[in-house]
Structure formats: C-alpha cells, structure tokens
Structure 1
Amino acid sequence: MTERFVCFLVCGNKVCGEVVAVCGRVTHEHHEQYEEDVGRMVSFDSTYYVPTQMYPAPPVFALSTRLKKDLAAHVRKAFELLWVDPASCANRIRVFLEFLMDYFEIPRSDINAKGEEYDLKLYHRIERLEAKKPGHKKTFNALCATSGTMQAIPARRSLKH
C-alpha cells in the first residue's frame, strides 16, 4: 500500500512565521540490531516522511539582496524544483549561471584559430569571469558540478601504471 502525507509547517523565525504546505510519501522500515547495553537483539519500526513538494519552497541558501530580481527568480525556482525534480532543479541552476555570466558581460561565444565562431562552455565562461571578477570560481564550479554541467571539463589527474 502506498502512503502519503500532507502537512503545514510554520517557520520558527519570529520575524518570518511563514506557513509552508508540504506533501510527500511515507515509508516504514523494520530494524533489528544488537544492543550491547541490554545484551541482546532488539527490533523496532521506523516511519519516514519523505517530502516531494513544498510550497512556498524554503530557500536552500540566502540570496544576496544585490542580486537582480530576474536572476534571483531562477534561483527561487530551483528551490521549488529541488523537492519535485532534482534534475530540473540542477538545470535551473545552470540557467541561472548562464544568465549571471551574461549579466557580467562574459561572452557566450568566441572565435577559434580558424576564424570560426563557437559556443563557449559554461566552465570556460566561469574561467573568464574569474579573470574579470576573481573570487567566485570555486563556488560557481561547485554549482556547475551539482547541475551536471561540468562533465565536459578535462580531467587533470595523474595516471599510475
């Protein structure tokens, strides 16, 4: 039998108090383990409530008040998608990073040695941003890795035979 739950949570921050609607699935597990202090096996049942949707979605991290509203909207949408579809959440983070690169006027394309235009990968755009505004590369690369966009980065590892 499939079990589901629905509930409302209230933010404990006195200046907030926002109400969040939560729904998800319920799972049950039976556990048995040896307890040294009683000298025997004990068994117990656990119930787990796994959220699959939250509205409004709680922020995963604080957003800068200096972040433009249209850019912040992409991150807030990622917060919502985290509970419903983590892959879509990761993609929304990638979209946010691309628009952030646009905001900092990091080009989307370049010209190769043959004089042909090509699209820059996000990690190349991040490297260019680092040259222009140092100090963000590590964070942006972590966000890229989370969103699965770093797969094309050449691996720098030593090979042992």
Structure 2
Amino acid sequence: MNQHPDFDERGNCEDFYEHLYPKFFIPALPLVEVHNACPKPVQDRIDAASKIIWADPSSAANRLRSATEALMDDQGIPRKVVGRRGNIRDSSLDERIKNFKTAKPKYGEAADLLLAVKWIGNVGSHDDRLRLPDVLDGVEILDFTLELVYDDRRDEIKRKAAAITARKGIPQSAGKPNLTR
C-alpha cells in the first residue's frame, strides 16, 4: 500500500489516496485459458503458479518452468538421455525443448517460445529479481504456446473451409427439405 498526493485543479495537495496491491485472490485467478486438450499435469502446474503469483512472482515463474517440463513429458520428450560415455543422465529442459523442436518440427515456433518460459523460470528458481510483469510475460508466452500445441480449432476450421470450397458453397443438406422454416 502506497500513499500518493491527490492534487486539486490548482495543484494544491488536498488529501492523499492509497494504492492497494493484491497479494492473494481466493479462489486464485486463472492465468491462462487452458484448453480442453491440455494435459492435467500442465494445468495443475499453471494452477499452482496462479495461487502464488501475486505474493511470490519468482516461485510462480518456477511453476511455469515446471509446466514446461510437464508439457515435454506429454509430448513424449524423454527426461533421460544416453550420455557420450553410454551412461544414462538427466536431460536438461533446454535439451528437451531442442529435442522437441527436432522431433516435432511442426511445433518449432512453440519450442522457440518455450525457451523464453524456461529462462524466466530459471531466473525465478535462482534469485529474487523477477517482478510480476516479468512473470506475466512468461504466462502470456506459455498461454500462446499451449494454443499452438493443443488448440485444434485452427485445423477444424481449415477442414470446414476445404469442405465448403470443394462443394462450392452448396450446403451438405442440399436437396433435403428445410424443416427450420
């Protein structure tokens, strides 16, 4: 809460007003419009971020990074890889995102965006410099990425348009009686 002077039309300070800054919302405000096809582990991590973002943006950023890990799990990108010496080792999130881009080139744009979410999450994990606007940038990027990966409305609309074009606009029900009149 901060007090600020309230000036009248002549520039005289008549009073002070306060700005209130929220720390929690109960229930938590949703951060993204999670699509039905988005897997529950990703949704759960985003929900965890939404519960703490106002009080602890750095911790929320870490939850967004964790959501990115869950997204890689859902896309079948392994957490373990065979190292140079034949040993099994953990794959970093950076490696997993790069592997995602290689394994699923149609999601190349999504992979590039996820790197930004990863970096925001890394900063949130290792120091306390992040502020709410920084984390909200990560939320916006993750939301768009989820749309790229899980929202199939674009494909559905393209199929409909192709079918209408193939029929040259003639309704599928042409020749059938119209019972709606």
- 2:144 paired residue number: none
Per residue, is there more strand in 1 or in 2?
1
The question of 1:148 aligning with 2:122 is answered: yes
Equivalent AA in structure 1 for residue 92 of structure 2: K
Structure 1 runs, 4 residues or longer, greater than 6 Å off: none
- 2:142 paired residue number: none
- 2:79 paired residue number: 108
Per residue, is there more helix in 1 or in 2?
2
Gapped runs of 5+ residues in structure 1? 1-25, 152-161
- CA distance in structure 2 between the partners assigned to 1:150 and 1:101 by the alignment: 20
Equivalent residue runs for 1:25-104 within 5 Å: 26-30=1-5, 43=13, 45-104=16-75
8 Å CA contact retained: 1:27, 1:48? yes
Q: TM-score, normalised by structure 2?
A: 0.57
* C-alpha RMSD of the superposition: 2.7
- CA distance in structure 2 between the partners assigned to 1:149 and 1:106 by the alignment: 23
How many residue pairs are counted as aligned between the two chains?
121
Q: TM-score, normalised by structure 1?
A: 0.63
Gapped runs of 5+ residues in structure 2? 126-181
Deviations 1:63-97 (CA, angstroms, capped at 9, x unpaired): 12211223212111111110122122112112211
Query: Bigger relative contact order, structure 1 or 2, given CA contacts below 8 A and separation 6+?
Result: 2
Percentage identity across paired residues of the two chains: 23
Pair member with larger Rg: 2
User: Helix, strand or coil: the match of 1:29?
Assistant: strand
